[in-house]
Amino acid sequence: MRMLHTMLRTGNLQRSIDFYTQVLGMTLLRQKEYPDGKFTLAFLGYGKESDQTVIELTYNWGVEQYEMGNAYGHIAIEVDDVYQAADRIKASGGKILREAGPMNAGTTIIAFVEDPDGYPIELIGK
């Protein structure tokens, strides 16, 4: 068994694709519209779906916003240097929720950024 993807609902598919590709450096792997279901799926990641876990963005046509709820946590992405990654994301227009630095009660360097729909993404140093 292996993890295939994490699905996130988005209110603006192109805006989210732009964030994940231009700000986080992922590649749009595939995208397909489902007219009968009135939704579009887009899969993004850092490598082929056959080798890597990816993100599935789901756009339900006509739905522009979702409530986060309080059970969802975050997505985590490993980076070589959290400080540099956070600076690059900030320079690309990304929103920083927590500046890079040691985690609470630990030494691992982390930062948090937010995607256009409000989903938190943790950056973790190797």
Per-residue model confidence as pLDDT tens digits over 35-72: 999 999 999 999 999 999 999 999 999 999 998 888 88
Domain locations in the chain as residue ranges: 5-60, 75-125
Residue in the block written with tokens 């489902």: 34
122 given a catalytic annotation:
yes
Report whether 122 belongs to an annotated binding site.
yes
Q: How much is the pLDDT for 10?
A: 96
Residue 116 has pLDDT above 90, yes or no: yes
Global pTM value: 0.90
Catalytic residue among 33, 49, 78, 122: 122
Residue 111 has pLDDT above 90, yes or no: yes
Residue in the block written with tokens 């993890």: 3
| Range 75-125 classified under CATH 3.10.180.10 | yes
Of the two residues 33 and 2, the one the predictor is more confident about is 33
Q: How much is the pLDDT for 71?
A: 82
Q: Do domains 5-60 and 75-125 have the same CATH topology?
A: yes
Query: For residue 64, which amino acid is it?
Result: E
CATH superfamily of 5-60: 2,3-Dihydroxybiphenyl 1,2-Dioxygenase, domain 1 (3.10.180.10)
For residue 26, CA distances in Å to 46, 48, 62, 107 come to: 5, 11, 26, 27
